[in-house]
């Protein structure tokens, strides 16, 4: 009897061993991929931001109806009051049209009618505007890029027309219902009385008739450290390998993701290879993914604005650029200066590359002094003598950064954006 029991037990053990061997040989563990916002235990270094912090007009233009205009810049009192009112007004229903069918003389509207323009330098998708304004119902096309909103009083002075211009020169939407009143427009325009007058330049930009007084700034800074960034971008920083390249830059990798630090240039680049694939063009959702990624991977080292959107037909490698602002004006880098912007690229909603400045301003050390930039005839003379004047896309006040070993200086200057998307400062 005992021998039979031993035989049975041995048979069962052999059978179990065979089953286990089969499972090991022919089955595979089912790995559940982690979402991008789950695989990193982040380190809150910088500040957090929401969409409303990052999307706003780079300028508001007031038209007095007497061939006189003025321009308001972000963070100024009049700008803030007007934009706050605009965001609270309801807009519903849009009629798609084109500039030819409208048969509107926009030069007459600009010079003879009281009006307000909200200008978004590089445009904002309709469905993103819907998140920051009281736009009700369905938007005409979620990926149409709105470059400006223009509200003006009709010649009869009894109504207001509201138009949304797109990045397609001929495509315009008129708001069917918008609760802006003639009184609203009058209040907006009257708020600009006594401010610096502007006139239309050679292109679609405005120039002041007198010099502008703008504060210049100096401040000390610190930098994101390698340890902070490793903890932010890698699942297990302890298993990362690092090497130093000939140019002095440091590279960290966990075998898949890579982080390059160029400390002498105060710059970092993160990459997470993603197989190229087309995805639905939903610029609004991709924008929200980009903001969430930055919030969770170091945060924001200053105040930023959405600067550039992906091209309309791009289905892969959708790139977003956020431009750093200091008070009312953007910090513009020219050439190889790595400061003033964050660039992030997404594929199928997943971040494949991310680059930014390592500089963290020390707000306790900020000092300021008044400076002037040219206006009127002096500015016009500078533009007339500018070698690339036929390639100018836009002219605007900005800060030229000068970065030393311990300090950043922001110098107010006239920035020129050329048709190829590059920047130069007017000398």
Q: Which of 213, 222, 215 is nearest to 408 (CA)?
A: 222
Question: 223-357, what's its fold?
Answer: TATA-Binding Protein (3.30.310)
Residue 292 binned pLDDT confidence (cut-offs 50, 70, 90):
very high
pLDDT at 168: 87
Chain segment 88-105, per-residue pLDDT in tens: 999 988 999 888 888 899
Residues 6+ apart with CB under 8 A from 95: 173, 174, 176
| Average pLDDT of every residue of the chain | 85
Distances (CA, A) of 267 to 46, 200, 257: 15, 38, 17
pTM of the predicted protein model: 0.85
% of the chain beyond a pLDDT of 70? 85
Q: Is the pLDDT of residue 21 over 70?
A: no
Residue 24 binned pLDDT confidence (cut-offs 50, 70, 90):
very low
Using the structure block, give the residue that is written with the tokens 């004006």. Answer: 329
Q: Provide long-range contacts, Cβ within 8 A and 24+ apart, for 279-282.
A: 279/315, 279/316, 279/347, 279/348, 279/349, 280/315, 281/143, 281/312, 281/313, 281/314, 281/315, 281/318, 282/142, 282/143
d(C-alpha 275, C-alpha 95), whole Å: 40
Chain segment 199-253, per-residue pLDDT in tens: 999 888 999 999 999 999 999 999 989 999 988 888 887 788 888 888 888 999 9
Chain segment 170-200, per-residue pLDDT in tens: 899 999 999 899 999 999 999 999 999 999 9
Domain residue ranges of the chain, discontinuous segments joined by +: 56-209, 213-217+364-425, 223-357
pLDDT at 12: 39
pLDDT at 246: 81
Which alpha helices (H) appear in 144-216, and where do they start and end? 182-190
pLDDT at 63: 97
d(C-alpha 388, C-alpha 395), whole Å: 12
pLDDT at 277: 59
Which 8-state DSSP code applies to residue 388? Answer: T
Beta strands 69-72 and 90-98, pairing class: unpaired
Q: Looking at the DSSP assignment, which residues form a beta bridge with residue 92?
A: 136, 177
Least confident of 111-125, 227-241, 385-399: 227-241
Least confident of 30-34, 35-39, 290-294: 30-34
pLDDT at 263: 84
Q: What are phi and psi of 274, to 5 degrees?
A: -125, 135
d(C-alpha 239, C-alpha 19), whole Å: 36
Q: Which of 146, 125, 119, 330 is nearest to 205 (CA)?
A: 119
């Amino acid at each position: 009897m005992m021998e039979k029991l031993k035989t049975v037990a041995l048979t069962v053990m052999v059978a179990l061993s065979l089953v286990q061997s089969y499972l090991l040989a022919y089955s595979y563990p089912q790995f559940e991929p982690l979402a991008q916002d789950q695989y990193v235990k982040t380190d809150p270094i910088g500040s957090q931001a929401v969409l409303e912090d990052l999307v706003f007009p780079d300028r508001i233009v007031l038209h007095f109806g007497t061939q006189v205009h003025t321009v308001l810049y972000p963070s100024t009192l009049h700008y803030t009051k007007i934009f706050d009112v605009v965001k609270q007004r309801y807009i519903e229903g849009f009629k798609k049209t084109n500039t030819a069918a409208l048969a509107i003389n926009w030069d007459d509207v600009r010079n003879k009618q009281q009006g307000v323009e909200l200008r978004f330098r590089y445009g904002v998708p309709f469905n993103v505007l819907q998140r920051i304004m009281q736009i009700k119902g369905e938007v005409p096309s979620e990926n149409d890029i709105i470059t400006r909103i223009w509200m003006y009083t009709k010649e009869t002075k009894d109504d207001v027309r509201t138009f949304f211009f797109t990045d397609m020169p001929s495509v315009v939407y008129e708001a069917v219902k918008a609760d802006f009143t003639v009184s609203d427009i009058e209040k907006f325009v009257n708020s600009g009385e006594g401010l610096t007058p502007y006139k239309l330049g050679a292109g679609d930009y405005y120039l002041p008739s007198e010099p502008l007084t703008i504060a210049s700034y100096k401040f000390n800074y610190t930098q994101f450290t390698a340890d902070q960034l490793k903890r932010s971008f890698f699942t297990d920083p302890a298993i990362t390998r690092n090497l130093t390249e000939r140019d002095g830059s440091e590279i960290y990798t966990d075998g898949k993701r890579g982080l390059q630090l160029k400390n002498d240039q105060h710059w970092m680049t993160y990459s997470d290879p993603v197989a190229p694939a087309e995805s639905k063009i939903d610029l609004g959702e991709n924008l929200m993914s980009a903001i969430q990624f930055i919030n969770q991977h170091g945060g924001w080292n200053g105040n930023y604005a959405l600067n550039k959107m992906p091209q309309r037909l791009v289905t892969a490698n959708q790139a977003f650029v956020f431009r750093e602002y200091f008070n009312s004006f953007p910090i513009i880098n020219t050439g190889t200066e790595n400061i003033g912007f964050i660039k992030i690229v997404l594929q199928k909603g997943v971040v494949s590359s991310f680059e930014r400045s390592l500089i963290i301003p020390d707000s306790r050390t900020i000092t300021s002094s008044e400076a002037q930039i040219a206006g009127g005839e002096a500015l016009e003379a500078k533009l007339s003598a500018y070698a690339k004047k036929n390639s100018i896309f836009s002219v605007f006040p900005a800060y030229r950064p000068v970065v030393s070993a311990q300090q950043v200086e922001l110098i107010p200057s006239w920035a020129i954006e050329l048709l190829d998307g590059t920047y130069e400062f007017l000398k």
